[in-house]
Each structure stands twice: as structure tokens, then as C-alpha cells.
Chains A and B, each alone.
Chain A
């Protein structure tokens, strides 16, 4: 059974710093991995999706990497801003045709002005 872990559960950093969020999964046979952002009391917003054949994806100040063999993904946020404060979730999809996502429990990020 696939298990997805995100450590730490919470992280606080000063504004302007670069930071890395971690996601690990136990079964390396994944189809893709998706990073989401969740603001308090809100739904999930998709940030980046990495296919299993890819090593990284970039969107603005965000860069997500994937190392399937070691069961790890990282989300790099450059030049953090207070507006980046949110909970960040990663989720893996097992294989094509099996569209169920297995989620981690998230990292709650606070950017200190």
C-alpha cells in the first residue's frame, strides 16, 4: 500500500528566503506526482504536476523535482513572500487508468514578514 509522508508538518521562515518542502513515498511505481496548495478553509489549488518520466517542473518561483527511484519529491520556493503562507500537499497517482491520488498530510508553511 502506497504511503506518502511530508516532513516537517510545519515550517516557518523569514520573508525572502528560499525554502524546500519534502515529500516521500514508499512505492516508487508511480505514474505522476502533483503538488497542491491549500489556504485555510479553502480547497486545493494545483501547483505543479510531474510525470514519472520527468525530473522537474517549474512554474514561476516554484520548482518541483522528482526522484522516483528514491521515492522523493521536493518543492522549492524561491524568494518566499507572506502570500506563500499555506499548507502544501503532495499526492501520487499509481498508474495510468488508476486515477486515485494518495495524499501526504501536508506541510503548513508560514512566511514571517
Chain B
């Protein structure tokens, strides 16, 4: 039972570098999300997707990009890393139905930008 899988688990980036955080789910969920978690701040939504080919901005999208070419995958791209992007990133997925909207989360990617 893989659920939601994120890679890598840890990464250190230099300012201005780029990287892609990978997320895949095997539950055939239509909704997928990216959140970031900063100490004492709770989780903030970066981007989300309601299905393949459809993405939308969340609360804090600046500096990030996403794509959703398949139901299973939802990568998050950082083009020009900045120290403010140091955080723990969580990918999540859920169904969207009247009776089942429970969200499932991956184990997180801890990113440090120096």
C-alpha cells in the first residue's frame, strides 16, 4: 500500500538553483495538492489539481510551478530557489465525492535553500 509517495526526502539547494519535487499516488484520486509547512505557521496550500490537465493556485503559489499530465503524478517545480522557500513540503491527494473527501499525505520533503 504505497499511498502518496514523495521524493526526495531531503534536499539542500543553493540560491538560484532549480529542482523538482516528485509526488505520485496510487489510489486513483482525482484531487492532488502541494502544501508547505513552516514552523509555527501551519500548512499553507501552494497549488492543487482537480484532475489531469487542470491546476490552480493556492494561497502561496509565487516561486512555484506545477503540472498534472497524469492522474498519478503531480510534480512541484522551483525555478529559482530562494531562502524563503526553505520549508517542509507535503503532497496530498483525495477523492472528491459527496461521501469521501478524506485527504492522504506523503511523508514530506525537507528543503533547505542556502
Contacts and interface: CB of A to CB of B under 8 A. Distances in A.
- Do A and B associate with each other? yes
Chain B interface size, under 10 / 10 to 19 / 20 to 34 / 35 or more: 20 to 34
Contact of A96 (B90, B98, B103): B98
A105 interface: yes
A44 B105 contact: yes
Interface in B73-100: 90, 92, 94, 96, 98
A42 interface: yes
| B contacts with A: majority SS | strand
Interface in A21-73: 31-32, 34, 36, 41-46, 49
Given A97-B96, A99-B50, A105 B42 contact: yes
| A contacts with B: majority SS | strand
Interface of A: 4, 31-32, 34, 36, 41-46, 49, 89, 91, 93, 96-97, 99-101, 103-106
